Amino acid sequence: MSSRRKKQRFCHIHGASRAIGHCSTCKRHVCVLCGKNVDGRLYCPECVPLKQDVVVPGNVSGQPDARPPLFSPASILLLAAITLALCGLVFGIRNLRQVQSLEDQNTELKEKRVELLGQIRQRNVELSSLHQRLDSVSDALVQGDAPIKKARDFLSAPAEPALLDGFPMTFNNGTVQKRLVCLTFDGNDEANAAREILDTLKSRNIHATMFLTGRFILRNPALVNRIVSEGNVVGCHTFTHPHLTTYATNRRQDLLPTITEAFVDRQLVKTDSLYKSVTGVPLAPLWRAPFGEYNKTICLWALHAGFLHIGWRQGRTWLLGLDSNDWTVDEEAPGYHSPQEVFDKILGLAHSGDSGINGGIILMHLNSTRVEKDKQVHHILGRLIDALESSGYRFVTVVEMLKESGIDISRLKRD
């Protein structure tokens, strides 16, 4: 059985070319060269619809290509980075303004603090002056019609009752009948002011009395030998500078439970032994309690060990005593006083009353914890010595003051 051959069709325009189909409109055959595919339908060149889609080469489907996206991933990342940078810049400028504002406020507060501190110091000076006047008025009232004085007169030493063999509990002020005064310096362990003090004393041929701890002697043997070689007297300030009473906690001079006569004896005798090994001579039979903490019992124990307690002139207020308070560091503390205030106080007392500071014992220290030089009290020492000597005062050691006051320390017995 023979099959029927498919009839070959040729393009009506290009007669030699095989037709690929017929025009959807005129039905004439067209070849691949002239046939146009529009929306899936084939047209000859004459019948192509007027609204013809553009066929892009390579788009064999005849469908229009999709438009490229407006923003690429790279451009989006760039925009995000720019946005973040701008936000950071804005916040940075804002923070800088806030920091500058805080710095301005801090500067203003510091200036106000300095101003307030100055006002407080001025008020303290005024209050101190007022206290001194009130004390003077009080003294005058007690004495009846006696004239008002700047400071009370001190009685001749010893003011304390005798404890042992006629020795007082403590020697705080010598005879007021003679224009004598003592410079005393305590040394615990540090000695950053000691050399300047010794230079000042030596330049004016003045001898002072130093109360040294065993720790001071251990740390500064060369300095201790200089103190001795230049004619100064050295007494004991205990070995370790311990608290002896409850004064620091309750403002009472009650004996601490751990303090015994054996303890006090060791503190004094051990220091004396060390001092003798360094200098070749024993300590003077004098001692001063650390922190000013002592009572009748402690002083009696010390007398048993052969040491008489030496204090300093006391007063009802700081303005009436001879404590320099040179150890106070905090300028806002009630006990802080500038070098000039210390100088003015001592000179004021020296020229007050009938006896001034006759027999007075002045308390200072061989170390200063004040950092600024112009606030360290020992720098007034030269001026103070010159001013007091020009007023007729003579500087003596505590040993000489005791002798002038009728107390013979050679009777003290030491094992």
SS3 of 316-363: the string is CCHHHCCECCCCCCCCCCCCCCCHHHHHHHHHHHHCCCCCCCCCEEEE
Cis ω on the peptide bond leading into residue 282 (within 30° of 0)? no
SS3 400: helix
Give rounded-to-5 percent helix, strand, coil for the chain: 40, 15, 45
Looking at residue 12, its pLDDT comes to 81
Give ranges for CATH 3.20.20.370 in the chain.
Answer: 162-411
Instruction: Decide if 121 contacts 332 (C-beta within 8 A).
Output: no
Cα 30 to Cα 39: distance, rounded to the nearest angstrom:
17
Question: Which pLDDT band holds residue 160 (cuts at 50, 70, 90)?
Answer: low
pLDDT at 138: 40
135: pLDDT strictly greater than 60: no
Q: What is the pLDDT of residues 314-365, one digit of tens each?
A: 999 999 999 999 999 999 999 999 999 999 999 999 999 889 999 999 999 9
Q: How many angstroms separate the CA atoms of 314 and 199, rounded?
A: 28
How many other C-beta atoms are found inside a 10 Å radius of the C-beta of residue 236? 27
Segment 69-87 mean pLDDT: 81
- Which of 19-23, 94-98, 109-113, 224-228 shows the lowest per-residue confidence on average (mean pLDDT)? 109-113
Cα separation of 379 and 199, whole Å?
11
Q: Encoding tokens for residue 118?
A: 């100055």
Q: Which of 45-49, 242-246, 301-305, 316-320 has the lowest mean pLDDT?
A: 45-49
CA distance 197 to 180: 20
Helix H, strand E, coil C: the string for 239-277 is CCCCCCECHHHHCCCCECCCCCHHHHHHHHHHHHHHHHH
DSSP characters over 71-114? S-HHHHHHHHHHHHHHHHHHHHHHHHHHHHHHHHHHHHHHHHHH
Q: How far apart are CA 183 and CA 161, in angstroms?
A: 24
Q: In this predicted model, what pLDDT tens digit does every residue of 215-246 receive, in sequence order?
A: 999 999 999 999 999 999 999 999 999 999 99
Fold of 162-411: TIM Barrel (3.20.20)
Angstrom distance (rounded) from CA 319 to CA 357? 12
CA 352 – CA 345 distance, rounded (Å): 11
- CB-CB contact of 300 with 265 (8 Å): no
- Kindly tell me the sign of the dihedral angle through the C-alpha atoms of 209, 350, 168, 245: negative
State the pTM of this model.
Answer: 0.64
Contact residues for 318 (Cβ-Cβ < 8 A; gap 6+): 128, 325, 335, 337, 345
- In the chain, the N- to C-terminal Cα span, in Å, equals 158
Biggest alpha carbon–alpha carbon distance for the chain: 170
Whats the size of the chain, residue-wise?
A: 415
Structure-token match 């603090």, residue found? 113
Distances (CA, A) of 80 to 87, 91, 301: 11, 16, 87
Distances (CA, A) of 141 to 138, 144, 145, 316, 348: 5, 5, 7, 16, 21
Q: Residue 375 above 60 pLDDT?
A: yes
Q: Per-residue pLDDT for 282 more than 60? A: yes
> How crowded is residue 414: how many other Cβ atoms within 10 Å of its Cβ?
13
Which pLDDT score, from 0 to 100, does residue 122 have?
Answer: 62
